[in-house]
Structures are given as structure tokens and as C-alpha cells.
Structure 1
Amino acid sequence: MPSRTSEPETSTYEEPERALRTGRLGTPGLLFSVLAAGAPLMAVAGTMPTAFDATGVVGQPLLFLVLGVVLGLFAVGYAEMSRHVRNAGALYAYIARGLGPTAGACAAHGALVAYSALQVGVYGVFGFEVSSLLDTYRGVTIDWWVPALLAVALVGGLGRLRIGLNARVLGVLLLIEVALVVVFDLAALAKPATGRLSPHAFNPHALEHGSAGIALCFCVAAFIGFEQAPAYAEETGRPRVVVRRVLFLAVGLVTAFLALSSWALTLAAGPQDIVDSAQKQGSGLLFALAGKNLGTTFGDVLHVVFVTGAFAALLGLHNVVARYVFAMGRDGLLPAGFGRTSPTSGAPAAGSLFQTVVSVAVVAAFALTDHWPAGDPTAPVTHLFTWTGSVGVLGVVLLMAAASLAVIVFFVRRGEARAQLWRLLAAGAAGIALLGIAAYSVRQLPVLTGAGPDDALTWALPGIVVLALLVGLVYGLVLRARRPGAHAGIGLGEEACPVPGALPGPRGPGARESGRGTRL
């Protein structure tokens, strides 16, 4: 078996074609990958104006700080778990190790649907924005789905390459979009609309008008992405250090960025006028304020970078889904062919192809129902983003809540409850908060999606998440009955013995650390 010292590009897994290549990512590469998937510019230009418009809450910056605390508590237990579990299945692997293989199978299918939905929704945004830019600056009119499908092909091609190359692409695109938003933020701080820096948006009284609960549901979507760091653990040289570091860096940086940028929006428009401005400008609010404060050229450049930022998010989410598919194929939750990597790049090529096919199918389905003029976002491109985005965010938040419980059970079963007490308390508090946000999101789904109170979407969208979880549950139960060895290996990943018919190592509290990681 090759060692990591002599061959850092090769995993310690006994079948290299069933393993991701180690040593491909360091702290910067992993940080760029997870932050880009969170689409920071899309959050500022899309999520924030929509939340101001739909909820009338001026105190968004305060809500971002509150969510930062909640997700920081989540990261405490989640990061500690990353020191014991090294698996591309990330959320579902953690749940399997804490709550059992059947729960892991359930979570795996839920994660696959949730992250796929998030990515496909962004194709709608990307397609419409490219279509609009071409119409505005070149007088070329094309349907949104044309650039969307071209993006599917390009992202699919990049997803089959070395993760190191992907990380560099994501890093460049991420730095550009963040830099431009920071320039806007500084301009708003230097020249606020009212002539003075108002801290009103951070005042709890700013949450009294409007629906703070619904605003919280919008805001949590802007944080999705940081929890993806463990999905790359097998491709880092020092996963116990790098993944943990990136999780805390990501939560801290995203919280600061979102709180500052939402405050800058209120300053640029004026705390008393931000809601009215959002209702009038919609998703064009950021670009209008940027053009007003920094000139039309800057506003135009920011709009173009919005498109490149959306592409970065597509690539980041695609990479995550490909790794989930790979992990599921390796664990027997999908056909075994998906659990193999490219012999040249070491990337999960079959998983990448899987997500490309899914994206083409969904974009094509929405395109076939599009009878509106080119460049009109009324439907179905708006539906593609709002519907799939709602499914994705709800699914991820539920999985994060389940992962919090899994962290607690994992360490209690290992007999480490006393040593890890403060981390378990943090995980419990975060889990309760996340479960509450998920429940409230389901209740307020008509507002979040723009559907009527009696619309079938109010039950159909959460029904997709429930259906995915049920499919995973049934599959897990069938696997336990028919292939107990494979069932026992769910969530073990490269720690499972790859010899056909062999059972994985013990899962009990007395499990010892092996040279390949923590084996339970």
C-alpha cells in the first residue's frame, strides 16, 4: 500500500480508482471552493434586496450577526467531528457515524437532492442575466436557457479536471466579486445617503417592523456553502487541521461580509428608504446604488461580475454534488460505477457526469414550458430559481440540524461526553435553532416563493425533500436486510475495507484509531 509521504497524489485507499487524490487542496484552495459556492455577490444583489422587499425588515445586518452566532455554534461540533471522520459524503457521512447507517442513507439522498436543487436554480439566474446583458449591451436577444445550457456544458467539463485547477478558477472569480462589493461597501460608509453613519440597522428595534422571522429564513440561504468543507477532506493533505480551520474561517468571513454589505445597502439608500428602494428596484437595487455612488461604469462592471460570480457558484456546487455522488457510489447507495474517479485527474468524473445530466434535464424541462418573450424573467426562469432554491435550502438546513444531533450521539457513544461537553452543548443549541428555522421556513413558504396560500407549492416543495429522505430511508432498510455488510459500511468511505465481501471495522465505543483515520 503506497504511503502518503512517497506518493502524496495517491490515497491510502486500497483501490486507487475508488479514491479521491490526497494533497490536492490546502487551506486557501478549500476556502475559495466553499466560499465561491456560497455566491457572496448573489447574496448581496439577490437575497438582501428580496428580503428587504418581502419582509420590510431594516435590521438585516443584525440578523446576519445572529445567524453567524448560530452557525458558529454549529461549526464547533461539526469541526470537531471533522477530526474523526474523513469522508467526501460530509453531512451524510457524519449522520451515518452518529445516528447509524440507515439514517446515513436517508441523509445521503436528501443531500443529493438538496445540493442538486441549489445548483440547478443558479442556472436559471445565470441564463437570465447573460441574456439580459447581451440584450442591453449588444442588442442580441436570446432565450435564457441557451446560456444556461452552455454553462452546464462548461461546468461539467471543468468538474472533470483536477480539483486544484478548479480551486484556482474559483479563487480568481471569488476575489474579484468580493473586492468589488467591498469597494461598494466602503463608498457607502464614506458617503451615506443621510450624510451620517446610522447604526439603526443593528438596533433590535429595527426588527420590530415587518416580519423578522421570514427575513431570517431569507438570510440563512446566504450562509449555505461553508458546511461543504468536509466534502473535500479526502483531497486535503492535513484534513484534521485544514477542514477545521476552513470551517471557522468561512463562518467568520461570511458573517462579517454579509453584515457589512447589508448595512452598506441601508446606508447607501438610507435606513428609512431601503425598503421602498428594494420594492422599486428589486434585484437591481445593488447595481442602481453602485451606479449612483461610484458611476455607471462601476455599476455595469459589477453587473458583469455578478454573472461570473454565479458561474463560480455553479462550479462550486457542481464539485460538491459530484463528491456526494462519488461517496454514495462507493458506499453502495448508488451504482458502484459512480464510486470511481478519473485515472488522469483523480476527480469524481462519473459524479460530475451525473450532475451534468440532471442539470440538462431540469433546465430543459423549464425551457420547454417557457412561452414568454426572450429576456422576460416572469416565468419559468424565476420559478426555476425560487422553487429549487427553496428545496435546496430547506434540505440543507434540515441536514445540518440532523448533523448536530449526530455529533452529540457520536461522542456520547465513544464515552467522550464529559470531555466534549461544551462542544455538545453548542451542537445542541445550534441543532434546535436550525430545526426551528426549517420549521418556520415551511410555514412561510408562500412568502418565500411568492406562491398563494392555497397553492400546491406550499406542500409540493417540502414534499420533494420529504420524498428524498423517505427514498433514502427505504433504501437503507432494504440494504440492511439484503446486504448487511454494505449497510454497515455506509459513512465509512475509505476507512471501510475494500476487499469484496469483507465487513468494515467495528463501530463501537472501544474502536481504535488506525493509520487510515478513526475507525469506529
Structure 2
Amino acid sequence: MRNDAPEGYERSASWDSVGTLPYPAPPSNSVLQQPRRIGSTELIVLLFMAHPPLNLIWGAIPTAYQFSGVVALPLVVGIAGLTLMAFAIGYGSMARRIRHRGGIYSFITHGLGPAVGVGSSFVAVLAYTALLASLIMLACGSTIGLVANLFDVRLPMPLCIVVATAVIAALERLRLRALVRVLVAVGLAQAAVIIGVDVASVAEPAGGDVSFHALDPAWLLTGSIGLALGLTMTAFIGSESGASYVDEVRRPERTIPRATLISYAATTVVLVISVWAISVTVGPENMVAAAQGQLQSQTGGGGHPFVQTVIELLVGPAHALTVTELATAALALGCLASGTMRASASSRQLSALAGDGVLPATLKPLPDGRSPLQAGLVAPVIAGLMALVIAVTDTSIGVLYLITIAGLGIAGVLTLSSLATITWFLRSDDTESGFFGWEGQVVAAGFAMVTTGFVFCYGLYRLPQVVPSGDTWGWTLWAAPVCAFLCGVGVVLALRAWKPHVPRGIGRTQ
């Protein structure tokens, strides 16, 4: 029995021209009355470049090969992409109705309550910050190797970390239109490399014949598919932050759902095609071996870069160094671009929580919709400090742990968001004209919830046993997101005792 919608939702009894109930008007306040400045195209660029494709193809995917051992990784990428597109269907239905800067945590609040919503927001901020720290390390590692090859100079890692952190903090302060231009420039440079490598890879197949073995489901059993799915799903982190731009987009009820779904779909298509194409020239059976040492090479260690292995096969050893240097420069720029989007997502979560009264008022959004400087600096400063600590320890292991914590955290948040979507539709009397009505939204959200929930639960149980140094530090993989969630829940419980009016407005007051 579907009951009334959650408290704070306004409805109209009239029907519009397409037979659906009108969407509730956003709260009337000074932030949401500002003119919208970007449309679907710009938001798609922002979300797509939250995980630049070249960085995934030559960074995240080889790392998944290295640690999972699954040969049919293009299929795993496809499964991850389909899961996230199903998530985007339910997410989009909530974004059309709930307009709040907190985005995904506001959706969770409407479905599961403020304690779970704020807990998920704390986990999201932890995940974005951890991933930002790893991106800083990857950008610095790539830059150190590039400068060493070009000028025979070894840059100190701490200096690179400070510079990279400052660059990301500065880019995060750009207005969205200016940031989009920067991201388009980086994206075009990466697209040129991707297209060239894909075409050349198919033209130069290993053994002389184009192989589709990497798309054979039998190869899914060659390693740990659960670990592969978790690592590849981590590659898509960022697109779920689209609803946080509600203050700065035109027609958010259409722009945000469309941009989120297109971002996931485009990333999935590019990754599946590119990873398969590279497997053609390397040989599907050789991909796992070729990826060994990939993470060490990207973090300034002594491993052999996966990108160099592929380029040597395509252009020969004589020209490989020059082409590798160009590709490495594009990778470093992609890490900075992706890091900027992580910093932006974190600052929007923090400012949304401040707007709801959970965090200090100094972090509240500015009148033009942007995050204040204080909120924008939190993630870069903390991530930079984390990177400095990791730089004096085992860098590659530290980066792997940060990436894994971020992936687990976001998988848990996506699971809660899908559950919240199901709960919201089942207890509301709203209607839905798209995707077979509200029942279709529930089915899509249910599929996403089961898959992301499996990734989260499997990761909590299995990852501490399989990652390097897991017997010593493996507990941090589950402790970090769980503790962040409990901290958020604890904050809401404390507010209920001291400021009972605040929890009632979480996710609804902006």
C-alpha cells in the first residue's frame, strides 16, 4: 500500500499535459532564485570528466587487471556500467522531484531518514577526499617520471604534492563555465590519444588476428570477479554528484537526470571498446601479466608503466618514449581535472550540510550558488596532507588503500540511495510516466541496490584478505567508511537532543 509522501513534500491535485503530477516547487530562498547558468551539455562534461577516460583506461583498468587477475575485464566494465545506469534511472526520478544541494544525501534522507542521510554524506566526503589524495599521488608520480625522462631531473615528491594540491584548490574555485572550458581542453587531448591507440590496436592484433576472447564470459572465472567489479565500479565515481549542481543548472529536473545517465553510458561505452581494443594488440591472455607493476609505476615507483607496454607494441621501441611522454602528460592533466571534480563534490556536500544546520554556518553556500572558500579548501588540504604521509611510506600500497576505501564508500552510498528510492516510491502516492511508471523505477533501483550492495559487502569481507599488507592494515578498508557513517548518525542524534528543529529540516531546507 503506497501511502503519502515524506514530510516536507508539496503536491498538487491537478495533472499536467502529459499526465503526470507537477513537480514540487523548490524552496523559495535566495540561493535557488539565482539564474541557472549551465545546461545539459556543460553538466555532462563536468560529470564525464570527473573520471577522465584515459586515466581509467591506463590507470584504473590496468590496476583492476593487476589485482583481480580477471581476463574478461571488458565484460566486468560493462556489468559495472549497466548497474550504474540502472542506478541513474532511480536517481534521476528522485532528482526530478527533490532539488537540494546535498544531492544524493538529500534523496537518502527523504527515503530513509536524516540520520542515514547525514551518515551517507559523511561517507561520501570521506570517499571523495581519499580518492582526491590518490589522484594527487598519481598526478605527481606521472609528472616525476615525465620530468625525469625529459630533463633527467628527479623532482621531490613532497614538492609535487604541494603544487598539485594548490592547482586543484585553485581550479575548484573557478566558475563552472570556466571550469568546463578547462575540462573540455583536457578531454580533447585525451580523446585524441584514445582514438589513436584504439585504431592502432585493432590494426595491429597480437598473432595477426583480431581476438574477441576478452569478451568471452568464460574468462570471468580467471580471477576474482568480485574484486574486479569493485575496482572497476570505483572508476565511475563522480557522476553521482550531478544533483549537487542544482543551484547552478538550468531546468535541473531535466538536466540532472539526463546528464547523469549519459555520463555513465558514455563512460561505459568508451571503456568497453578501448579495453577490448588494447586486449587485441596485447593479447587477452597477456593483459594480466602486462599490468603487473602498473600501480607502482604511476606512483613514482619502479614498476613498468602499462601505457609504455602498449605503445611499444604499437609504434616500436624507437618511438615509444616520445609517444609515452605525450600520453603521460595527458594522464597527469586528467588526474588534476578529476581531482578538481572530487574537491568540488566534497565542497558541495559540506556546504549543503552547513545550509541544513549540521555544520558551521561559515560553510554555507554563497548567494551565487558556489561553495565558500572554507568549504572548497577542506578536501584539498586534507587530501594533500594524506598524500604527504603516504609519500614517506609505501606509496603504491597507500594509494591502493585510498582507492579501495573510496570505492567501498561510494558503493555503500549508492546502495543506500537505491534503497531510499525504492522506499520513497513504495510509500508515496506520486506517479511516474517514464520507464514503465514508478514500478520500473523500483525495479531499476532494486537491481542497482543488489549489485552495489554485493560489491560493498563483498569488499568489506574479502578485500582485507587479498590486498597487500591486508593482515596488518586490511581492517582500515571497512573501518573507515563504517566509522564515517556512524559519525554522521551520531551528529544527527546529538542535534535531536540539543537542536530538535535541525534534523527535521535536513535535506529539505535549502
TM-score bracket, normalised by the shorter chain, equals 0.7 to 0.9
Confirm or deny that 1:475 pairs with 2:491.
Answer: yes
Aligned to 1:509: none
Aligned to 2:419: 405
Confirm or deny that 1:106 pairs with 2:119.
Answer: yes
> Does the 8 Å CA contact 1:327/1:493 hold for their aligned counterparts?
no
Confirm or deny that 1:133 pairs with 2:157.
Answer: no
Corresponding residue to 1:181 among 185, 189, 194: 194
Q: Which moved more, 1:308-317 or 1:103-112?
A: 103-112
TM-score with structure 2 setting the length: 0.87
2 CA distance for matches of 1:71 and 1:229?
Answer: 13
1 CA distance for matches of 2:456 and 2:196?
Answer: 34
2 CA distance for matches of 1:124 and 1:149?
Answer: 11
> Does the 8 Å CA contact 2:358/2:502 hold for their aligned counterparts?
no
Corresponding residue to 1:390 among 404, 407, 411: 404
1:323 CA drift (Å) = 0.7
Corresponding residue to 1:48 among 61, 73, 82: 61
Confirm or deny that 1:442 pairs with 2:456.
Answer: no
Q: Which moved more, 1:241-250 or 1:24-33?
A: 24-33
1 CA distance for matches of 2:274 and 2:33?
Answer: 37
Structure 2 residue runs of 5 or longer lacking an equivalent are 1-24, 298-304
Q: Deviations over 1:118-172 (max 9, x none)?
A: 1111111111221221122112222222112111112212222212211211121
2 CA distance for matches of 1:189 and 1:20?
Answer: 52
1 CA distance for matches of 2:397 and 2:32?
Answer: 38
AA at the equivalent of 1:286: V
**1:166-205 correspondence runs (5 A):** 166-205=179-218
Task: Name the SS for the 1:194 alignment partner.
Answer: helix
AA at the equivalent of 1:386: L
**1:137-286 correspondence runs (5 A):** 137-279=150-292, 284-286=305-307
Corresponding residue to 1:361 among 385, 400, 413: 385
Q: RMSD over aligned Cα, in angstroms? A: 2.2
Confirm or deny that 1:332 pairs with 2:353.
Answer: no
Aligned to 2:327: 302
Task: Name the SS for the 1:152 alignment partner.
Answer: helix
> Does the 8 Å CA contact 1:127/1:146 hold for their aligned counterparts?
no
Identity value in percent: 28
> Does the 8 Å CA contact 1:19/1:341 hold for their aligned counterparts?
no
2 CA distance for matches of 1:304 and 1:150?
Answer: 16
2 CA distance for matches of 1:20 and 1:264?
Answer: 48
Task: Name the SS for the 2:174 alignment partner.
Answer: coil
Aligned to 1:491: 507
Q: Which moved more, 1:244-253 or 1:408-417?
A: 408-417
1:411 CA drift (Å) = 1.7
AA at the equivalent of 1:335: P
- Structure 1 residues 190 and 142, CA, compared in 2 at 3 Å: closer, same or farther? same
4+ residue runs over 3 A deviation: 11-16, 18-22, 280-283, 345-348, 364-367, 416-419, 446-449
1:272 CA drift (Å) = 2.6
- Structure 1 residues 448 and 251, CA, compared in 2 at 3 Å: closer, same or farther? farther
1 CA distance for matches of 2:253 and 2:122?
Answer: 26
Task: Name the SS for the 2:231 alignment partner.
Answer: helix
Task: Name the SS for the 2:284 alignment partner.
Answer: coil
- Structure 1 residues 22 and 437, CA, compared in 2 at 3 Å: closer, same or farther? farther
> Does the 8 Å CA contact 1:51/1:215 hold for their aligned counterparts?
yes
TM-score with structure 1 setting the length: 0.85
Q: Deviations over 1:448-469 (max 9, x none)?
A: 64224x22x2212210111110
- Structure 1 residues 428 and 129, CA, compared in 2 at 3 Å: closer, same or farther? same
